[in-house]
């Protein structure tokens, strides 16, 4: 991939933007670690082989500080960008800067994707569907009618929880280090829960959790090699599968324990790919080559770890 496509750009670059073609972007602070440019540009190159109108489309990375977010969002529209992805720390705050947001995004309270409209931006959240797609692609399981044990009570956990409710899981158990945060998330989900029972527990006391549950880690425990597992899997009778949203490192303490127990397991690289595929499909209005995006993610990740 040309080195220019991996350049991290700034607000000053955006102010002077005059590149030809149609631009997309991932926006974060920091953003240099993002695999998204390689994943999306690989897909755009494949699509352009069969449809020449996409030959001028490129996906860029912009490091934008929180204090500059409002200025940048307006400039992205003024400069003609077709869409953006947002990552930490902008997913929640960008919602106040858009003209409209779909019901899913409002229920999550965060947006990771903006779609251009003639007068502004429309927000959506592809993290939710990306999780469901990754579970199906990587582990051949569905949230529908499954018991789900969700670890964490932050923004990533809320997106996962909303998808569990949308897909009508059999039950949702939210575990957190502090009971109060788990209870707060359960309370926020109450208007959307419908028939799905939502219960909470402390991670240190995983008692009476349902057998054959899907375990989803939405905590940050596992990002460092020294991190312990957020949950002792032996406390759950025969977990059906384990999914860790973390993909760097590729094997966390939680995934090592799942392997020791011989339970199906996957890390979060597939979720990164599938949420990206959903975003790209929104922008292009057509199906996108998920297989190409998956191969690009795996190749890029291997390069980053050399």
Residues with catalytic function: 91
In the numeric block, the tokens 């209870």 are attached to 183
CB atoms within 10 A of CB 262: 7
- Cβ atoms of 173 and 205 closer than 8 Å: no
Q: Identify whether 30 is preceded by a cis peptide bond (ω within 30 of 0).
A: yes
Token pair belonging to 11:
């607000």
Helix, strand or coil, per DSSP, at residue 70: helix
Token pair belonging to 168:
């009508």
Token pair belonging to 85:
């992805």
User: What does the alpha-carbon distance between residue 73 and residue 85 come to, in Å, rounded to a whole number?
Assistant: 11
- Cβ atoms of 24 and 56 closer than 8 Å: no
User: What does the alpha-carbon distance between residue 28 and residue 65 come to, in Å, rounded to a whole number?
Assistant: 8
Q: Which residues pair with 215 in a beta bridge?
A: 149, 242
User: What does the alpha-carbon distance between residue 182 and residue 152 come to, in Å, rounded to a whole number?
Assistant: 7
Catalogue the E-assigned strands of the chain.
Answer: 8-9, 22-28, 57-63, 83-86, 100-101, 113-116, 121-124, 147-151, 171-176, 198-202, 214-217, 241-244, 265-266
Token pair belonging to 26:
């991932």
CA atoms within 13 Å, Cβ hemisphere of 161: 36
């Amino acid at each position: 991939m040309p080195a220019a496509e991996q350049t991290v750009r700034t607000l000053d670059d955006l102010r002077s933007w005059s590149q030809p073609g149609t631009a997309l972007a991932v926006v974060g602070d920091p953003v240099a670690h993002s695999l998204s440019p390689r994943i999306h540009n690989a897909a755009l190159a494949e699509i352009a082989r069969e449809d020449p109108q996409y030959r001028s489309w490129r996906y860029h990375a912009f490091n934008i500080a929180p204090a500059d977010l409002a200025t940048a969002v307006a400039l992205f529209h003024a400069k003609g960008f077709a869409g953006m992805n947002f990552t930490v720390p902008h997913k929640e705050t960008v919602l106040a800067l858009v003209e409209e947001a779909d019901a899913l995004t409002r229920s999550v309270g965060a947006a990771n994707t903006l779609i251009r409209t003639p007068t502004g931006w429309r927000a959506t959240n592809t993290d939710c569907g990306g999780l469901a797609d990754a579970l199906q692609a990587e582990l051949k399981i569905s949230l529908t009618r499954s018991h789900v044990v969700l670890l964490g009570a932050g923004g990533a956990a809320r997106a996962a929880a909303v998808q569990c409710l949308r897909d009508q899981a059999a039950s949702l158990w939210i575990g957190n280090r502090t009971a109060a945060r788990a209870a707060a998330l359960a309370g926020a989900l109450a208007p959307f829960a419908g028939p799905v029972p939502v219960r909470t527990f402390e991670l240190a006391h995983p008692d009476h959790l349902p057998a054959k549950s899907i375990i989803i880690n939405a905590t940050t425990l596992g990002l460092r090699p020294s991190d312990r597992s957020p949950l002792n899997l032996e406390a759950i009778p025969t977990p059906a599968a384990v999914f860790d949203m973390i993909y760097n490192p590729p094997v966390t303490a939680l995934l090592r324990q799942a392997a020791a127990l011989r339970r199906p397991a996957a890390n979060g690289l597939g979720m990164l790919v599938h949420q990206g595929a959903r975003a790209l499909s929104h922008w292009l209005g057509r199906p996108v080559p998920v297989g190409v995006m998956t191969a690009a993610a795996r190749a890029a990740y291997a390069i980053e770890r050399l």
